[in-house]
Amino acid sequence: MTRPAVLPGPRPDWLKIKVPAPDVVNEVMDLIRSKDLVTVCEEARCPNLNECWGVHRTATFMLMGDVCTRHCSFCSVGKGQPGALDPNEPQRLAEAVAALQLKFAVVTSVNRDDLSDGGARHFQQTIEWIRILNPLCGIEVLIPDFKGSLSSLETVLEAHPNVLNHNVETTPGLYKRVRPDGDYRQSMELLRRAHEYRLHKNLSMKTKSGIMLGLGETPDQILDLMKDWSRAKVDIITLGQYLPPTPNHLPLERYVEPSEFDMYRQQGESMGFAKVEAGPLVRSSYHAKESFESPRL
């Protein structure tokens, strides 16, 4: 059983967040509620929710319900046996994207290990509906590992998202404690296969991955992980500060100084990554549109 999280001292100034545009936040929330949709912004208690909703008018949509079949110790999404898929959800999500007039949409999901394809077809249908209702909108999908299924991965890739994102979340030595149902090598293999697919199909799609810092990893372990990303030909990487969503989640070991994040950014750029988002408040989909539009890509 995870011990109650105890923060290592008061939250530093660089992790304090301003709350902008509450009226716009409420407008976005009302639209999401009216479409009976779920956002990872709320479920994961993201610290950037108000900025993304209130200033950038973007939200990261979460497909296939709000109950996950896995038991990651850092995540506040509900865990257990999910319900049946809603076949109309992909269209409703695309309608919300169109109503918000988004130029770039991020779509993720809970893990659905109860489904034969892990929910890959649901991702594919969502991409297709967004293309129909908002054809100029860029699309990033943040997908689960599909238990290593190549056919499920290809189902998503066949819909041609602009960005294929899969987070490894932490360094391999911490998987048993942080991501007990996951497999680091399997996640890296997924990213490598996505790269091979785009080469074979001559696609402009970008690949992306991210981790959280402050869980007990060392700088050398993070740099080794970044080398694994480089070998898998990942284009965009994100490194952000882990913050326990509640006192009952995985404890935080340390606050990572902004200067250390700057070091990872500089090292990542020297390794050849097209875009490195590294900072205390960076999350996987934070500034997703700006990362995708980086001049280096």
Query: What distance in Å separates the CA atoms of residue 290 and residue 9, rounded to the nearest whole number?
Result: 33
> What pLDDT is attached to residue 160?
97
C-beta of residue 148 within 8 angstroms of C-beta of residue 183: yes
pLDDT tens-digit series, residues 48-75: 555 655 455 566 888 998 899 999 998 8
Side chain identity at residue 243, one-letter code:
L
Over range 107-126, report the average pLDDT.
Answer: 97
For the chain, list the domains and their CATH numbers: 13-292 (3.20.20.70)
Which helix H or strand E contains 67, and what residues bound it? strand 67-68
Query: Residue 236: which of 209, 266, 213 has the closest Cα?
Result: 209
> What is this structure's pTM?
0.87
- Per DSSP, the three-state class of 169 is strand
